[in-house]
Structure 1
Amino acid sequence: MRISRRTHLPKLLFLITLLIPLVETKVDGRLEVYGNFLTIAANNSSFSADNYTDFGTVFNRTASVDYTQLSRTFVLVNGGSSNLVISEIRLEDEQNFFDITTSAVGTLSPNESAELVINFNSRAFGLAFAEVVIESNDPNGSFRFFIRAKNVECNSTKCFGKLPSDPTVCNSFGTCIGQNTCSCAPLYAGTNCQTPIRWNDGNTLVQAGHDFSPRITIGPELTDPNEVYRIKVAINKLSLFQDTEVSIGVGSSPPGDLAHDIGQIDREYGYLSSGRLYSNGVHSDYGIGYGEGDVVLIIYDLPQNKLSFAVKKAGTHEFLPQGEAFTGLIARPGKSLHLMLSLTCFGECELELVD
């Protein structure tokens, strides 16, 4: 018996219409954020003065830490085709460094904008960070981005960098390269070039001969809250006893005694010439070793409170970063953190602070 295919066509068309979903054009509110007319991306974790995510720097005296403040205006735009309902704007800022002075909570029609004004209140010296969180009916969810600012302590009557012709600008050990910006002379550091990079006897050299016990030499105080210290120690000559090491690092000064490796006692952070780390009496693996002819670079990022090291091997031109060594450095009560060096010299030893 022959069956015509046309007898099944109406049923087939009916089934197809059931299987094809209805297509709707979905209309949403879309949040766009701008700073200084430049786009800020959602979940942005970088900083730029161009789009105001980096507020910049203020300078204040110790007695009036919050006298000079910074304010930045961000623009929120509805780039969608229906109303954007902004339900909440908050700052995730545990230290309360920033305030929202003008909110943009409310409803924005398509292409409508509103201003969000955030103030850096300068309540403490140093770097300040916060995360801006904007909640809305945007289908992408929360819009987040980070902001930062810096408050620098400056007690000079003229405040460094404002009058480049004045001999006291940059503490007389640097050059003013912009308003309140110093380029320090070799072997000086700090926001006002106020820290000479010297050992405690005022010299750049540590020399020893047949010194049979670990001997600590204390370097500059590392306390500028806005500084990333980069200090180089060149190992010009080195004769070590068997199983002894050089120890370079950061510790509380003055230490309990002057005859131990940096890291042997509480709240010292040492990098040994064997390539190991040494802190609170505990050794751990870290990086490459160093010796005569090498240069060790100590990088102490005080705003982030991180210590790391790099080594330039003899006969080479590039430093080899060894990576982050310690975080959350803390001085012992009543003391401050200094650069420190400890070595036991078998013959002739000479270590030098270099630019």
Structure 2
Amino acid sequence: MRRSGLSSHLMCRKAVQNFAYLSGCFFCFLLGSFLSLSTMDPSVCDLQLCTKRLQHMSVDDTSLWQGYWDKNRVGQRKSVFLVILIISAPKNFELRNTIRQTWLKEEGRDCLHYFAVGIDGLSEDMNVTIQSEQRRFSDMLFLPNLKDSYSTLSQKLLSSAVHIHENVRYRFLLKCDDDSYVQLDRLVYELRSIPYKLRVYWGFFDGRATPFKEGPWKEDKWVLCDRYLPYALGGGYILSHDLVEFIASNSKWFQLYNSEDVSLSVWLAPLQLHRIHDTRFDTEYRSRGCHNDYIVTHKQTIQSMRDKFNHIQLDGTMCKNSFKSRSSYIYNWDVPPSKCCIRNDSSIP
């Protein structure tokens, strides 16, 4: 009997020791996980170490981790009047910095901007560079599942729309490129005159364009008709918040075409909305010149953006010398799209 009791005592003691050992291991695991997450905080993490860890994290972990760097963390929806989505590329730091130092200086508290870049497949050096930029400015929108290229522009727009819809309350979104110059004060002034519930798709429209058959703009998937649907050119356009909400809420259903502006026109085609053609949006594939009435001017160099900003500071006008390099047009919504856009009036800016 004593031997049996001793055996039972030893078994109980061993079970207690095993439980204590397992409990200790579990505690160490939790502590290690906590310390690992805490060291991912960019404010205390070495950039090279952060880069290496980023490369070994899952997509879900990456999205979670980037919440530290987002200007608006998930769950903290900031309310603004205008969101400015600037489509950029990882290497375009000088363009982004020029925009920060020029027209974004007009950004008030009721505006919020993001530079959207795809970060999938970046080199370690490029990762370190853009992460350092994010630490400094906190205005980058990193898209972890997207390789940044022209062919992924539509996905970049779609992913950005989803992020903005989920994290910000706003009335309007301006989408532009990182080589666009915006007279932001004039734009905000114009936007404030738009009735609250008006669905607005506002920019410089084209309805005559035929699908490209070759080159980087080639559209293999375009089968809807022999021309693109009328679309606002991608150098800059405005969407009201309800249109962005529609896009974000239905993002999994949309066909993606090569050109982001063409894709957007298809996504919005069935909706009741107001398409506003405005010649003050100089947003074609090349600029029409310099005119002080232009709200958005596309295809600008770093120097031309600085010149425009400096001249506004000097005498309140954007152009040192106004000039026109090509004619504009008024979109005729009363005729078929193929006849919409005739450049026959030299007085149009």
Alignment TM-score > 0.5, same fold: no
TM-score, normalised by the number of residues in structure 1: 0.29
TM-score by length of 2: 0.29
More strand by share: 1
